[in-house]
Every structure is written in C-alpha cells, then in structure tokens.
Amino acid sequence: MSNQNTIAGYYNIPTQTPGIQTEYALLVPATGTYPGTPSPLFQPQIVSGTSYQPGLSLGVPNDIAGSVWDGHKFVVRHTGRIVAASPCDVTFKMYSVPAANIGTVSATGSVTTAAAPGSGDVAMGGPALIADPGSGNYFVEYTLIWDSVSGKLNGFVFAQIANSAYVAPTAITQAAIASVSAMNFLPSVTFETAQVNTWTVDEFVIERQ
C-alpha cells in the first residue's frame, strides 16, 4: 500500500477486460468512471472515426524530477486482482512511454487501437510467465535505478500472482532512457486462454527509496 515514500499513483482503477491471447496495456478509464480523467494528458483519441482510450502511464511529478532520481533507487509497483479462466497462463510486463507519446493512440503511440503497447514504448520486461495462477490478488514490483550519464534504466522485478507460487526476482530488460521526462511507466497483461478474463488494478505507484 502507499506510504510516506509514495510520490505518485493511481488507486482503485475500474476493472478492465483485456483482449484474448493478446498483450493488453492498462488504459485510461472511460470518461466519467474515474476521478481526474479525462485530463489534459489523457483524452479519448479519435482514430478513423472511432474513439479509443490511451494508455494510463505513470510518470515522475515535475516538481521533484531531476536529482532525486538521478542515480537513486526507486520502486514502481502495481497490485490488484485478476479473474482468469483455468487453465490460463498469465504474463505481466512493463514499458516506459516517451513524453511525446503520452496520451496518444497509434501504432507508435502509448497504445495501439488494439490496446497493445505501441512500438515507441521502451520495453522493460517483467516476471516470467505464470502458469495457470487461477483467479485472485497479485502484486508486481520493480526496483529500479537510472542515471543521466549512462541514460540506462536497470533493476529487477518480482511478483506474487493469485494462487501461483512467488516469482523470484529477475533482471529487467535494460532500457535506454535519455531523461527523467521519458520515464512514464505503463503495465500490461496477457491472458493466454480464449475466454473472458478481467484485470483490476487497485494500486499503481512510484516510491522513492
């Protein structure tokens, strides 16, 4: 849960229904369903006459960006609940969205029209595929470090997913990120079984360490 080290976050995001057997990014909730959205950054996007929700990325607040993050460890975590058909393998991943892509919907934007992460997002990886975890609560936590000299984001991720065993820490995919403004985190999930599955994020936060 949030604590005195939490500096940004979203809480109790309405349940989302990911596409079947495809990667699905966390989306901005539909208009009128979540306080604070739509916002100047997160507006529904019209593509070929159809309205789509952009990815709900979480970035470092402008008032504390800079030396607080340059060479200092921090945590990005999301917790919540999944309802997964059984058997159904589940995979969580995380991306960093460039500042210019925040709130956009396109093949190279924050998300595509199919709600997958856009090709412009920087992949960070995630815990290994979780085999048939069942339905229940979960957490995925990233411990990260970035510096402005190397421009690299490194760290590790661990998790506990529903009824599955604890997922031990594993290194993330090193991400090339030029500046603090490019660190805007966007989680995704993939359900492997072709049935209706749901994803509810109760907490999505950044914490200083």
> Can you give the pLDDT at residue 31?
87
Domain ranges in the chain are 6-208
**Comparing C-alpha atoms, which of 160, 97, 116 is closest to residue 21?**
116
Helix (H, G, I), strand (E, B) or coil at 103: coil
Q: Provide block-wise average pLDDT over 10 residues at a time, the chain (209 residues).
A: 70 90 92 86 93 93 68 94 86 95 96 96 90 90 95 96 87 92 94 86 92
Q: Please, are residues 124 and 146 in contact by the beta-carbon 8 Å criterion?
A: no
> Can you give the pLDDT at residue 209?
79
> Can you give the pLDDT at residue 15?
96
**Comparing C-alpha atoms, which of 92, 81, 120, 100 is closest to residue 41?**
100
> Can you give the pLDDT at residue 174?
94
> Can you give the pLDDT at residue 68?
74
Half-sphere exposure of 72 (CA within 13 A, CB side): 12
